[in-house]
Chains A and B, each alone.
Chain A
């Protein structure tokens, strides 16, 4: 193990321990039933500086690279942490890339498409970093053409961000996490940012949502492995039944695939779209399509107790069912990748092997792909 690996492992353990202490099933459930978040957990996280890992120190971040932020997001997903931790990590990175100062407190990211910002995670209580191109998403302001970022404080904290009065209003996802509409007016300062920033924001959202899914999928597997070892039927633990073993192994395959896809996306150079397959889109496609399989097997093996409010499994599976549709469902990602695959095939002609260079991320010299 290298020194960097050791440091990464230490960070991972620190985060997991802190989250385990706070994210008891009772507190996660209470957040969902109440205000939508756990303020005490947020405070504890903020004190450690973990909420801004991966963002440059010059703009107020904690420094470190994407892999640190990614590990924290996976841990947050596993713990079902009822705070905008992944969202804040993504927002810090987005502001850092644009060279804008990071405001204090919980943050969230929204990409504008059409008027207003819909289904913004934790929009009611976090400062929203909105990204867009041209006039989309903005109700006022000048007619800019390029990419922009806007930092919108939540209602009641100064500059306008009205929450919950638009068509979407306030809302929640299946896990009780706030998903709110944000409307912002001309008094919000809009920053011109380099071209590609809005696209970067979209990729960040997809990547961090995939990482949350990876953590939750692993937790669903862990809970199920434990359950089938404890629960006895016909005089022996469920784990001893071959059919149960086969299903769990199938589940493990999906969990490992999601892990491989998300880790590869973290390893790929995030800012540069690069050539070949977009790793982030492929990772989200895999995370979203695997999430449903994982949740279904987890519930089947838990039996009826798993679908009760009392059991903690739902805290994980309701997240899986929500997160797979957020920031790009598998249908959206499949279509996007499929179109890119067909474009790669068109560049080479049938049977001429255009797909493989694209898929393996090593386009042939002189290829049009």
Chain B
């Protein structure tokens, strides 16, 4: 087994990345100062702010990789990476356009028909068209090929019936791309007969029911399709090719900076407070050393995870499909996101900071982080499923 299969080469970021980074940073700093957003943990999932999304789009930071002819900006995937990691590190509210920007744009560019591209890509790049993900079902979670939502052939299109679940943001989104069954499996080959359809959510036959999280937030939904007609023009890619299309789409979903940075705001605030306390002599030398060691532990791992995520991003940009490495990034990165919480708890125990959903500063951030953490290693494919993918890549299964 060669090293390269686990890890693509580490490539440098493109020229101009530093300039772009400082523009985004300047914008975010001004927005934060003006009180237009409060940095939050996991804001890429729960920070839904349409005016913020449109503001980013006005600056060309949504749908960056969409070509100009479709209303985008023709930037590279690595330039997008730089912008996205700046947004995540700042805890900015990017949930509204998140799915559109991360995977629907690239998916339509790769598989969408010309009319589909013309219809959706410009709106995505304007930060005005929001998508949900239509994969999981009540009986198809980790076992994605078990989807039972069906598309039945109708005159000029497909009639869709079935239920999707855990669809974040569906109650506010305009559309989703559903993986569904349009044909029978080929014996035990269940990946045969699956297709992707782009379904508008505001239409008769679509019922969206909220699923409230233990945080009290509403981002999950159950989406029920009851004989919804979807015209042929809304088919993404080819009928029967859904599985291959989804698999390539998932590579974008697994290795991005959102798999490392969901609790970064907590770490940043922790470091700021520790620095202030040790600077003011509030902390004994022993405690300061212990704090530095624990901070160094997560910081070095975060740095390494980021190098790995960048390596995968570079490979994706070069047209490679580093499936194993992408799965590894999600596994190591999401576990680190939770480890950061433990370090923050340990180092704020002395002044007695406890998580408080109504609290500000560390108390509030800890509450967000602790309650969101179980989701880190579930979403985007559970870590156990991802480790199974890695094991297959190593030749074990």
Contact = CB atoms under 8 A, between A and B. Distances in A.
B1 A222 contact: yes
Given A351-B272, A355-B272, A257 B301 contact: yes
Interface string B207-239: 000000000000000000000000000000000
Contacts of B394: 225, 248-249, 252
Nearest to B89: A356
- Find the residue from A250, A255, A344, A353 having the highest chain B CB count within 10 A: A353
A360 interface: yes
Interface string A322-352: 0000000011011111110111111011111
Contacts of B302: 359
Interface residues of B, number: 64
B305 A257 contact: yes
Interface string B266-301: 011101111110110000000001011111110111
B295 A341 contact: yes
Interface stretch (A54-62, A163-171, A261-269): A261-269
Contacts of B85: 360
A362 B386 CA distance: 32
Given A263-B9, A267-B10, A359-B303, A349 B390 contact: no
Interface of B is mostly: helix
Contacts, number: 207
Given A221-B1, A359-B303, A289 B297 contact: yes
B140 interface: no
Most buried by A among B1, B3, B18: B3
B6 A225 contact: no
B244 interface: no
Q: Which of A259, A260, A334, A351 has the most CB of B within 10 A?
A: A260
A66 B61 CA distance: 37
A64 B372 CA distance: 49
B116 interface: no
B22 A362 contact: yes
A316 interface: no
B97 to A, nearest CB: 21
B388 interface: yes
Contact of B279 (A256, A346, A356): A346
17 contacts: A245-B391, A249-B387, A249-B388, A282-B300, A285-B296, A285-B297, A289-B301, A334-B294, A334-B300, A342-B292, A343-B275, A345-B272, A350-B275, A351-B268, A351-B269, A359-B303, A360-B306
Given A239-B391, A250-B331, A252-B6, 8 more contacts: A245-B388, A246-B391, A277-B303, A337-B299, A349-B272, A353-B268, A356-B264, A360-B85
Q: What 3 pairs between A and B have smallest CB-CB spacing?
A: A338-B296, A350-B272, A338-B292
